[in-house]
Structure formats: structure tokens, C-alpha cells
Structure 1
Amino acid sequence: MQSGTPSALDPAVAVRLKRDAQGLVTAVVQQHDTGEVLMVGWMDDEALHRTLTTGRATYWSRSRQEYWVKGETSGHVQHVKSVALDCDGDTLLVRVEQVGAACHTGDRTCFDAGVLTVSGGSA
């Protein structure tokens, strides 16, 4: 665990997680009603536990080395509607009701920075 103390995450959930070398799982965050992908964050067992028990999206900040609740300082809150684990156990899909911007730049989504051109292949 990032905090150095055991998490209260349900052991039945914890055993299903496949964490990276830092003990983290990727969290893809999606607007629950439109399917819009808002951002990507990182969760360890404790962040997931906090997310599931509070209904507020909580992440592990790799740069600050601390937990952060989305919107705690900005007011751009994520109310969690559901959390799903992918088939490999290494990615979470967090479906939220986003209040305000999801991106730290102030944009609605972190994926507004520019679409890349695809020139090959067929549909």
C-alpha cells in the first residue's frame, strides 16, 4: 500500500487486482450517462476502498505521493455511480457524475488536447 498501512479493501476484491510495480491499478474515468471518457487516474487498494465506501473518486497522486479526492480543492467533484474491474484485473472503469471540469487544465475532459490523425486501415 502507498500509505504503508493495510487497506480495509474487501479481500475478495483485493485478490482480483493485478497491480503494477508501484502497487497501482489504472482507473479510466467515464461520465456515467454519456460514456464520455473524462480522465485516467491511479488507484491502490486504499484509494479504491475509499472510492467504494464514500462514493467520491479518490486517487493516488504519483507526483505528490498522496491520496487526493477529486474536487476536494477545485470543486470539480466526481460522484461515483459504479466501478467495474476489467477481465485482466489491471484496469478499473469508474463511472461518475462529473461536476465541472475533469482535467487539471480546466477542460471538461483530459482528451480535448488534440485528436491524432489515423491514415491507415479500413473501417
Structure 2
Amino acid sequence: MESKEEKTPKFSQRTSVVQVEEGMELAPKFDATGLIPCVTTDFHTGELLMHAYMNEEALRETMESGQAVYWSRSRKQLWRKGATSGLVQSVREMRIDDDQDCVWLRVEVAGGASCHVGYRSCFYRRVPVGEKRSIGDQLEFTEDEKVFDPQQVYGDAPNPTQL
């Protein structure tokens, strides 16, 4: 029987560009604050759902559990996606970019939403570019309805992404 330590994902030391870019070892590059960015998309549609950060513990826990875990920069704690809302993200595939400084999760989402504001995706507004720009550069909503009411789910809890 394997011990917990034997099951814990191990990250390799970064020793060379070839090792990082062409090798088989997972050697993630965390930034100066100990974080690595993570983009999350819907496994079936490819829709971009959210962007967040992971620290080493969040990355390891995501790998171990198969459920998305992030690091909340505003709350300074692990953020187990769906722990409060029930909108758990089950990881179907995890990828890392060529220089191992960005993670991509492809997930199935319980409840059909990933945004704490209630929309399916955190990217629910379009920024006009090129000829579509106008004076004031007003954002355009791309989603008409919220999947859930944040007040009912979170109550009077502080907004999870404080300004």
C-alpha cells in the first residue's frame, strides 16, 4: 500500500531549457510570490471559463484530487472551487505550457457556472476593438442571464474577489 507521501506529486528542479521545454519532468515555474497562472476552460466546448492562480499546494491538491483548487490572492488561502457554491470543477485534463509557467485546466463544472457573479464564464463582457470601438469604450455583455443568484449562494459573505 502506498503512503500519502508516495502519492504526493513531486516537482522537479529546473535544470535546463531542454529539460523544461522538451523533457518529461514536471518542473513548474512559480513567480516571485510563489504563484503560477491558470486558465480554465470547459472540457466539452472549449469555452474560456476563468483565470486564476495556483501555489504549489493548490497545484499538488488539484493533481491529487482531480478537482480544481486555486490560490485566492485576496483572501490569502486555498480556494477549493465549489466548496461554498457547489460549482465544483472536475478536472478532465491538465496541461502545462512550453516553459512550464502557466497551467491549463479543462474541466466539467457541476451546476454549469464558474463565475462568482453568477454567469457561466468569468469572461462575460466583450471589450470593443478596432472599428467597433466608440467614444467611451463601453463593455458589451456576452451573456444575457446568470446561471445562479450569487446572493442566494453566498449570502452576505464578502465578495470573494475584493477590489
Q: Verify same fold: TM over 0.5.
A: yes
Q: Distance in 2 between matches of 1:11 and 1:117?
A: 41
Question: Is residue 29 from structure 1 mapped to residue 40 from structure 2 by the alignment?
Answer: yes
Structure with more of its chain in helix, by fraction: 2
Describe the SS at the equivalent of 1:53: helix
Q: Distance in 2 between matches of 1:61 and 1:96?
A: 19
Aligned residues between the structures: 112
Q: Give runs of ≥4 in structure 1 deviating > 4 Å.
A: none
- Which amino acid is the alignment partner of residue 56 of structure 1? Q
In structure 1, the partner of 2:122 is 110
- For structure 1, the 5+ residue unaligned runs are 1-7
Counterpart for residue 49 of structure 2: 38
- 1:37 & 1:87 partners in 2: Cα distance? 20
Q: TM-score, normalised by structure 2?
A: 0.64
Higher relative strand content:
1
Go from structure 1 to structure 2 and tell me whether the alpha carbon gap of 1:13 and 1:37 turns closer, same or farther (over 3 Å shift): farther
* Deviation of the 1:84 alpha carbon: 0.5
Q: State the Cα distance separating 1:13 from its structure 2 match.
A: 8.2
Q: Secondary structure in 1 aligned to 2:95?
A: strand
RMSD across aligned C-alpha pairs, in angstroms?
1.7
Residues 74-83 or 14-23, more deviating? 14-23
TM-score of the pair, normalised by structure 1 = 0.84
